Each structure stands twice: as C-alpha cells, then as structure tokens.
Chains A and B, each alone.
Chain A
Amino acid sequence: MSYLKRILLLFLLLAFQIANAQKLYFSIGGGPSFGMAKEPYSNFYDIDVVNTSTELETANLISFGKGFNSRFRLAYRLTENLDIAIEASYLQGGKNSYSQSRLVDNNNEFRLSERRVDVFGNMWSISPNLVFSPFNTRISPYIRIGPSLNFGRTYEEVEYKYLTTTISTEEFTGPVSWGFLADLGVKYLADENWEIFAEIRFHSFSFEPTESQITQYEIDGVDQLASLNTYKRKTVYKDKISEEQGTFGFVGIERPFQELSISQPFSSVQFLIGISYNL
C-alpha cells in the first residue's frame, strides 16, 4: 500500500472516529509563569559601587516570559484519545529589573548616579494544538503540543537620578511572532460535564519589535515629552540599515532613529490550574 493511501486511510479513520465521538468543551484557567532559557538583553547588567575607582558588575539574564498567564480554550474531541483545540492566552508580564549605580566625578566631587530599568511584556498568544489523552479514566494524564502566534507590546521603564530625576517609558511594538508550546497535564473528571485540570507548560518564542516610542518623559516630575524631537522619541528596528547622511542611525531630527533589529526572549515555564465544561 502506498504511503499516500495509508495517510488517506488514517484521515478516514480519524474522520470516522470524529463522527462517533463528537464532543465540544471549553476550558479556562490561569497561573504563574517563570522565565526560562534566559538570555542577556541589550547591554543591561547590574552595577554597584565598591569605591571611587571600582565597580561590581553582575550579570542579569532575563526572559520576558515571566508574569501571570490566563487562558481560554475551545476544544473538540476528535476521538476518545485525541482532541484538537484553539486557545487564546494572555501574559501579564512581570518586571525584569536592572539597577546601575555609579560615582560620577563632578568637579572633583563624587556624586552618585542611579539608573533603574524595568522591562516587561504583555502578550497575547493564539495556539491551535493537539491533545494526546490515551486513558479514559477518572484521572488521566495528557500532553498538548502546538505552534503559537504571539502579538503584543513590551515596555522599558527607566528612572535615572543624577542632579535631576528623569523618568521615561518606552513602548515597543512589532509583528506577530511564532513559537511553540507543550503542556504536560493531568485532568480529573469531577462529573459528567466538569473536569478540573493542572498542567505545566513550556512555551518559547522571541518577539522582534520593529518600532519603539517614548510615551512618558518627565524631569523632576514635569512632563517634557513635547521637548523630544522625532529622532529622540522614536526608533525603528531593521535587519539592514544603510548609511545615510554620513551617520548610521541618524537620518534627521524629524525622522525616527534607525537601529539594527533586536530580539526579546519570551521562553517560559508556566503552572496552570483550570476547569473544563463539556458543551
């Protein structure tokens, strides 16, 4: 039998089993998310002052995937042991923080400059996935696997104290990025219609912003956003930038600054509990 015929036969078998075991259900759940596969971001690391001539630098690898995750899922029982699901989830990002303290020589008088940076991302994920659930018992394990399409925004909040206090927020936007997720879960059939489940999710993708814009800029509590020209307020990120007007990145004060593209890692391990209801 040719492979094509076998695949067709497999498809027909699944279709037959769908007809015999139709079941639609929805699930909701939520839980904390922790960053994994952490990587350095930008040039950020922590700096502490040891003395006037020495600083202590500390590595700070991060993932934007940390935070709290909420999920809604609509699933269809293809067979007794295989479901297909479409899921929407939302990550309310937790902050990754950097702090950099330095002594600055100001006319032979050392003064402390302090810079604190918080980065985080709020991200929607849409995932079509398959659920393998081989046991029809009251308590049964399952594995969910599927790709994910992810879209949202990330933020960089900076507070800088030296002579004055400057506060700014930069918002990063970009196209949909794709990733992959897998759940290892266990479900408990509470009654005919209700199920309770707990799962561990591994989810990984990188967000590649194409634009950022400063949306808040205050000096000593006074809004100074209007004082920033486009060059200082906006940045566009490109895979390839050409030299224009002699200097890379700068193409005029009324045009956004150009920078080579960046990636923000979003890998995470998530713990989730939830309930399902058979429709």
Chain B
Amino acid sequence: MKREAISLIVLAMVIGFGQKLQAQYYLKFDMGYAAPMGEQSVPQFFDFNEESETLPFKKQNKISLGQGSHFNLGLGYNFSGKIGAELNLSYLWGSKRDSEIETSDDYFYRSLRGEMFSAIPSLVLIMPIKKPNMDFYSRVGLITSISSRMIYDTETLIDSNNADYQQRYIMSGSFALGFNAVMGLKWKKGKVNYFVELDYRALSYAPTKRSMQTSTINGSSNIHALSVHDRETVYLENIEVSNPAIVNDEEPLEVLISAYPFSSVGLNFGISINL
C-alpha cells in the first residue's frame, strides 16, 4: 500500500513536472517588412541615361538584398520566465532592385532579387512587466542560411538589328552566416500572445554558381543553342587567367567569388501560442 502511494506521488510529480515543462514551450509565427541596411554598390548596377532631356547622367544604385518581406516560424522555450531560447525558421522574399542603361542606340536592363531560407538559434532575455501584463524582451542569435538564391534578370534591346534579348539567371550555392538582434514587446493574453519586434539582421551572401534558366531572342527561346560556358558560371576563390584567354565551351565560365549584402532592419508582428 505504502509502495503504491509512493508510486502515485512520484507519478503525479512526473506528470506535474512534465506539464510545467510543457507549459514553457511556445510556438510563434510572425511576419513583417524589412528596409535595407548597409547598402553597397554592385558592379555594373547603376543607371545611365544618354537620352536624358538635360545632360546625360549616371546614377548609383546601392542595394541590400535583405530588403523585403520576412516570414518567421519559431519554437521557443522559457527556462524561467526571464531567460529563454528560440529556434526560428525564417524566409525572406526579397524586393526587386533594378538598373537601366539607356544609350542612343541600345537599352540594358538588370534586376536582382534575393530569397533566403534560414535557421536562427537565439538566446532570449525577458523583462516581465506586471501591469499591463507584458514582456519586454531582447533576442540575439546567429543566422545560418539553409537555402539561398538570387534571381538575376537581364534585358538587352539592340536597335541596329532590332533584337530583344532576355535572360534569367539563378545564383545559388554556399551558405551565409550572420547575426540577428531583436527587441520586442509581447502582450500576454493567456495561451495566445501577440508581439511586435524590431528585427535587425547583418549578413552577406556569396553564391558559388550561376545558372541560366531562360534565354529568349524576340520572345523565342535560344537556350539550347547556347554552350555550357554561356549558360553556367562558377564562382571560385582562385582562378587562372591566361592571355590569350582559353575558352572551353563544355566548361562553365569561372569568375572570382563575390558577396552581396543582405543586411536589413524591419518591423515584425506576430502571435505566439503556449503549448
């Protein structure tokens, strides 16, 4: 009898402890828009207009591909009500940035857009406020991209042969590592809570390959007529450059690796559900 009573108490403690632990887990979802930060000039990415009504001009187009909509899904754990840990999965749908070069004979258009799926493990420090029932919190974590890509579109109009060339490339490969800092306010409503966050991210991304997806001349595809060298590019730490240049049509073009800014500062709104 005594043994059974002890077993019941132990079972009750285990269940109670388990429930208490379970109550400290929460799921969260938020979304928002991020403005660019740490914008950089990218080679060949400027506006030029020779046909301007005043004087021809060149205009710099500094960009950060972190600009755009962010969607975050996270799992959090509160150790004590004042300190916690979160793992967020984040998706960036980047805004398109473009440049135009217009000369008296020709027109060149280029656009770049980034997409990034990343995991962000973070430490959370919480300052509870009793009235109103809120948490003022901050979070610092590392951003590790799981999948990243950049969409690069070009259009070239050549007056002399009345041709319109359009190409789409996907730049991908490798991963980005950066940091994320967040300051937020959470309105605690019981099981479901609402929060608003200032979300700062600093990172750059260096793709390792570029692949042509589509290529048209005056609307007709010509991609099958192009060689591997025309369609594929690999970005390397080191390349050998010969004079005269040696071109192998069956090998991708080799170019030195470059990095693109993905830093941003944004505002996110979301809900969290205590499990």
Contacts and interface: CB of A to CB of B under 8 A. Distances in A.
A binds B: yes
Interface of A: 1, 6, 9-10, 13, 36-40, 45, 50, 53-59, 61, 79, 81-82, 130, 132-135, 141-143, 145, 179-184, 202, 204-206, 238-244, 248, 260-263, 265, 267, 269
Contacts, number: 171
A15 to B, nearest CB: 13
A134 B123 CA distance: 13
Contacts of B260: 39
Interface string B196-222: 000010111010000000000000000
B223 interface: no
Interface string B128-168: 01011010111110000000000000000000000000000
B261 interface: yes
Is chain A's interface secondary structure helix, strand, loop, or mixed overall?
A: strand
B263 A267 contact: yes
B140 A143 contact: yes
Output the residue of B140, B258, B265 with the most chain A CB within 10 A: B140
B239 A13 contact: no
B62 interface: yes
Contacts of A261: 41, 60, 62
A206 B38 contact: yes
Output the residue of B58, B182, B258 with the most chain A CB within 10 A: B58
B7 interface: no
B26 to A, nearest CB: 17
Contacts of B38: 37, 179, 204-206, 263, 265, 267
Contact of B125 (A132, A243, A269): A132
A81 B126 CA distance: 9
B127 interface: yes
Contact of A242 (B57, B243, B244, B257): B57
Contacts of A55: 240-241
Given A39-B204, A59-B236, A206-B40, 16 more contacts: A1-B132, A9-B131, A37-B178, A37-B202, A132-B125, A132-B137, A132-B138, A141-B125, A143-B123, A143-B140, A184-B123, A205-B38, A238-B60, A240-B59, A267-B38, A269-B179
Contacts of A180: 37, 181, 200, 202, 265
A243 B123 contact: no
Nearest to A37: B204
Nearest to B261: A39
B82 interface: yes
B191 to A, nearest CB: 20
Given A9-B132, A50-B240, A53-B243, A263 B256 contact: no
15 contacts: A9-B132, A36-B179, A53-B244, A57-B240, A61-B259, A135-B83, A142-B125, A143-B123, A143-B139, A145-B138, A180-B202, A181-B181, A183-B140, A184-B140, A242-B55
Given A10-B129, A141-B125, A239-B60, A134 B181 contact: no
Nearest to A46: B238
Given A54-B242, A265-B261, A260 B60 contact: yes
Given A9-B131, A9-B132, A261-B62, A59 B263 contact: no
Nearest to B125: A132
Nearest to B123: A184
B260 to A, nearest CB: 8
Nearest to B54: A242
B55 A243 contact: yes
Nearest to A141: B125
Contacts of B55: 242-244
Given A45-B256, A57-B241, A180-B265, A240 B83 contact: no
B40 A265 contact: yes
B16 interface: no
Contacts of B134: 10
B126 A134 contact: yes
Contact of A182 (B200, B238, B244): B200
Output the residue of B60, B139, B256 with the most chain A CB within 10 A: B60
Nearest to A144: B138
Contact of A263 (B54, B62, B140, B237): B62
Nearest to A266: B38
B83 A141 contact: yes
